[in-house]
Structure 1
Amino acid sequence: MDRRLIQTAVFGSPDSDDPALCPEIPEELEAFRREHAGVTIWCGTRFEGGCGRQLTTRLYTDKICHFAHYGSGGTGRPCGRKDRGKDDANHLFAKAHLASWLRAQGTTAEFDFPEPLGSAVTVRLPDGRKLHLHLDRNQPVSWDPTVWETILGPGVRDPHALIQRGYLHRVRFDDRPGGGRILLFGTEIHGRGTEHWDTLEDIVLTPEALVSRTRPADVRTPAPVPQPDKEAAERQIVTITRPTTSGPRRTDPVQKLLRHLHTDTDTPGKIKTAIGAIEKLLQTDLHPDDANRLRFALTRCLRRLEEHTQRRQSVMLQLRQKPTEGLYHLAIELIRDDPDVPQEDSDLIDSLTARLERVRAERQAAAQRAREERREEKARQAEAARQAREKEKAAQAAAAERAAQQARQARTEKVRMLAPAVRGALKKAAREDRITTWPELRDKTGLRQLNRLDHEEKLELLTLVEADTTPEEPLWSTLITEDNDSAGLRLHRDICRLLGRPLPVGDMDLIDQLHAERGRLHRRQ
């Protein structure tokens, strides 16, 4: 590729920062011309050595298409641009993409292009943080401790910082069909490299870090500024100056003033200051091109002030006729840093500010009362719900108690007539010095109902059997054994609990107690 061909420019004016990239093939250049019909293209002053002259497009089929200066056939002022390829406008494309990205997140910022032009982009956020995009691969990275995060451009290397920080944020640029460049964001991890690239739409600026929507773990909180490499610090740095055939780049006040002038975003106070500086410069001996650029900028500044004044007057008129909070805030923004605001407008704003503060205080008080009422209502509802739950639980407990009582009564009625016969059979077993079982009791008494008794019914029956047994006497029910020892032990434990008899904890102690009581019954008869 012929590096002398101009591939980058700016739209609109010499001092614009709206970048343009010339398509390389004829079909895309034709589309580019149609898309930007009526828009002028310039060798912008925000390029290192940019001459500020107007450019045109050149279409070729035997080499790449490119921009060219008007009067490049031998007339006109020489251009001092050394780098004319795609990367020459990376700082402008970066600024455009970053500004759009921040606006999408509701944030505006101030941008600056440090010297030499094209080497870096500095972004100052409203909260005081500063981003620094380092693009010059031939210059060492400046790790400024006042910078919140430093991002490296294509081909920029700093192995020492990568080792110390563990990661480096990076950007790269891809060409977009039809002209323009796309900015991609990635994170180089020490030992892994840059594995993924995101569009800026997938990156979120938070108070703590740059966060990726697709890879939250890979985009990190800014690390401390790397410490200088001791070994590298001991080396002697030799600066080699490359010879040049063109004259030195101008650093005159014209270029400095126009570089920092932003007529679309600067406040009226800044624009008035710039107008004064421009008028002073126009009284000096200037090159015709510089004078033309200053007159162009002066016209834009005056038009911007006139438009701002007309808008401010319109908003203030509406505010007097029908004040609203929206108009008030708009007026506050319009009078900010405007030295030409009439006193009556300032008095109106002061009056509305006091009124708005009273209204805001009343709203806050009303909101506080509403919150307290909601809390009280919520507490009342919670108490009512608690009482309802308690009432429901009490009703359920009463119903359960009634059901249990009815079940006990039913069991008592069922086994009441069986108790005398069972008591007699147990006494007979005691006289005969033996124990018995439920089947044997059935056979001895002829009561077939004993086969159909469940645990609760047996418990109720034995309670009736022991009705006349004194606390000092052994229980007749100890003479009954079960086929299942655990069932028999359970039945005896439950009888003892109902009758208030002492019970040992372990089963072996309970079995010993049963044997002892049976012995007492046998000896008593």
Structure 2
Amino acid sequence: MQTAVLDNVDSEDPVELPRDVPGFDLFLELHQGRTYWCGVWLGGCGGRLIARRCTDKICHFAHVPNAGAPDSLCRRMSTRPSGSGSADHLYIKRAVTGWMAHGGLRGEARIAQDPTGEMRIGAQVTAEPSGYEPLRFVLDRAALPDPGEVPADTILGPGIDADPRILHEQGYVHRVRCIPDGVHRKVQIGTEHSNGTFDWYDFVAGTVGLDPHGLSTPAVEEIRRRRTQTVPIGVHAQDLIAKKITAAAPSPSFAATSAQPTDHTALVDALRTALADGVSVTRLQHSLDLLEAATRQGATAEENDLMRQASDELLRMRRGVGAQTPVPVPTSRSRKPRRLPALAPDRASARKPGNAAALHAPREQPRRATFEGDGLTQDSLRSAATAIRGALKKTAREQTTTTWATLKRQLGTALPRMTAAERVDVLIRVDQQTPKDQPLLSSLIAAGDPSLTAAYREIAAALGLDAPEDDDGLRDVLEADVQQVHLHWSRP
């Protein structure tokens, strides 16, 4: 597992363990004298954890052996994810508490508990600012009320479908997500527009406001302004809008931003030097994080290009291509590949043991022969793959995972009934279009749907990648791949 709480079993102070060795060593240095726990507010067993330094797989927290209960199994290991995101409710509670304090609001926040066990701990965080309606951050579908009873001001977590009625009538839906920020995670509030696009803002006072309608962001303010604007007959709409924008005063809900441009030269030079010098994963990630934070309100074409280069290099390093320091994924994928039916000859030769190019073999060639007796035509499979790929991109932008059942609800008739073999085939097709230096989108469903986890071995192998034979190793690889997918698609 990657998350724990610090100092005691009842702690609400979460921490995330870096996966790579340099980051692990820095983590231990920063947390000398601290203890790690499988805390009750994580839904854990209350046991003490140790941080394990690994060079053959990702570094992780492990339970201290309990001689008095050798056969006990932690709930976090058996029933729910324990990687990135499993402590997001704690980060959100901390963020909303700090946001209220800095905004001069009195009130408290709490994590909903369900004695029946039907709703997991962390499924909902509720904040109660004095003088306003409660704010409900829903992170699990189990915490949603019946359809039609979801309040319009509910803040939805990743992977939870918005109510189309609310999107149509209101023009937006509030979102919340947590993104990596060193050994912690940063909370952001999003505005989902009725056209499916998102605007994300750091959850801080001055950027995210509060009014009688609930949370408010700059994007929400603009949507409300457009919806309340009246254009007199005979007046050209664009002229009127331009005049109103020119004359508009800054919104009192948000801090005014400086008109002075910010000089990012030093940060750009530092990131360019880190790329040229081939520094470690941790140092390169640090330089990239600094520039990303500085350009959050806008970046030049040069800065965007440089950040994409750094992101791609980090992906290659973490996958073992060009890495300068020991990293987890390459060793876990070092097994001799198994033979797949009807594998294209050039793909098979590219995956010989010891050939580093196997990790980035071309994906445009056909992989498998048509299934005999399949009810779906090749055109139907290709069409389904296109629809799934689009849905998985949306899932990646929302920083979550998904299941086949969720895809079926989202896509409807675009996703016909399939056999297990057809599901694997169509997921291979999904990632045929994925550039060779990007992580597989199919990892999002393999990680989120236990029925397809084992199939990731076949999907990866058909695309020229190796995957571990053992289940623990496969989970490690999946978790690392999902993290890289989220990182890649979190950028505009």
TM-score, with length taken from structure 1:
0.37
More helix by share: 1
- Specify the structure having the higher radius of gyration (Cα): 1
Q: TM-score, normalised by structure 2?
A: 0.40
